[in-house]
């Protein structure tokens, strides 16, 4: 239900569970395991995630798999949390190509990525309260961080569906492209990542997340300087500077 392949330094993940690319505990465990494997593969610098077909990125949870069963629901939501936290904290840069409806857990998956590209026909929502639930795949935490409290409340507390134009205006996505062009744009972004020092990008991503994770500013600033100096322990730092001075493209070893 999660297809993947690696081309160059980019991993491509496709949510493929027709007809609506819904999540199941099994597919969430597969995603978590896959993120772990990609973390261990130092040749992977970025990952692109999208949905199979042209209508759905992902419609979220398959409610039929737990319905009113509290035990199954606890297992399901634990799988959601583990998978999407793994995605959020991936070593590499993650880009979602939202190629249609991203509802509930589908949108939460996109929220867990670093960069979001939406196709013009995409629709996004967190409608869980409409069925007596709440977005517990990190949705209540990630959405306010990205769009602010007021818009997060409007989307979650009133079940407002957001189109692509609104999403880019409020900062939910970074760019809107025409239908069918999302994967190409996400791939272009991922390939730009591959031109940078992998370890420098890794350090930058973790430092950017410090504010989200509640690290005090003074500690974050101190850690920033420490990570800067840590880069001098790796050959890519010397290669990057040398390539710049010699006016050539760097050849990263990612040691």
Q: Which residues are known catalytic residues?
A: 108, 128
Is it true that the peptide bond before 67 is cis, omega within 30 degrees of 0? no
Task: Name, in order, each residue with C-beta under 8 angstroms of 8's C-beta and a sequence gap of 6 or more.
Answer: 191, 194
- Supply the DSSP symbol for 17: -
Residues 12/5, Cβ–Cβ less than 8 Å: yes
> Residue 11: beta bridge partners?
6, 47
| Residues found in the chain | 255
Element (H, E) at 64: none
Alpha-carbon span 176 to 178, nearest angstrom: 7
Cα 79 to chain centroid distance, Å, stands at 16
Helices 198-212 + 235-245 axis angle, to 10: 110
Q: What is the DSSP letter of 130?
A: G
Q: Where are the alpha helices (DSSP H) in 54-181?
A: 70-88, 105-111, 139-147, 149-157, 164-170
Instruction: Please choose, from the candidates 150, 186, 166, the residue with its C-alpha nearest in 3D space to the C-alpha of residue 11.
Output: 186
Token look-up 């999660």 returns 2
C-alpha–C-alpha distance, residues 176 and 228, integer Å: 34
């Amino acid at each position: 239900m999660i297809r993947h392949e690696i081309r160059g330094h980019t991993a491509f993940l496709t949510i493929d569970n027709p007809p609506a690319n819904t999540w199941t505990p099994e597919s969430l465990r597969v995603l978590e395991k896959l993120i772990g494997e990609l973390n261990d593969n130092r040749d992977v610098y970025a990952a692109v995630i999208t949905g199979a077909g042209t209508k759905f990125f992902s419609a979220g949870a398959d409610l039929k798999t737990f319905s009113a069963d509290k035990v199954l629901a606890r297992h399901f939501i634990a799988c959601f949390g583990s998978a999407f936290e793994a995605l959020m904290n991936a070593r590499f840069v993650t880009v979602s190509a939202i190629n249609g409806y991203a509802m509930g857990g589908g949108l939460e998956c996109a929220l867990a990525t670093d960069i979001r590209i939406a196709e013009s026909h995409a629709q996004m929502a967190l409608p869980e309260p409409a069925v007596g639930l709440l977005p517990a795949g990190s949705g209540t935490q990630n959405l306010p961080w990205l769009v602010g409290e007021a818009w997060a409340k409007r989307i979650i507390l009133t079940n407002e569906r957001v189109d692509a134009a609104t999403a880019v205006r409020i900062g939910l996505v970074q760019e809107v492209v025409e239908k069918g062009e999302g994967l190409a744009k996400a791939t272009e972004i991922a390939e730009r990542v591959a031109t940078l020092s992998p370890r420098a990008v890794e350090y930058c991503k973790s430092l950017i997340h410090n504010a989200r994770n509640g690290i005090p500013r003074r500690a974050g600033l101190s850690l920033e300087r420490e990570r800067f100096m840590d880069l001098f322990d790796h050959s890519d730092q010397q290669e990057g500077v040398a390539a710049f001075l010699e006016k050539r493209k760097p050849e990263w070893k990612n040691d």
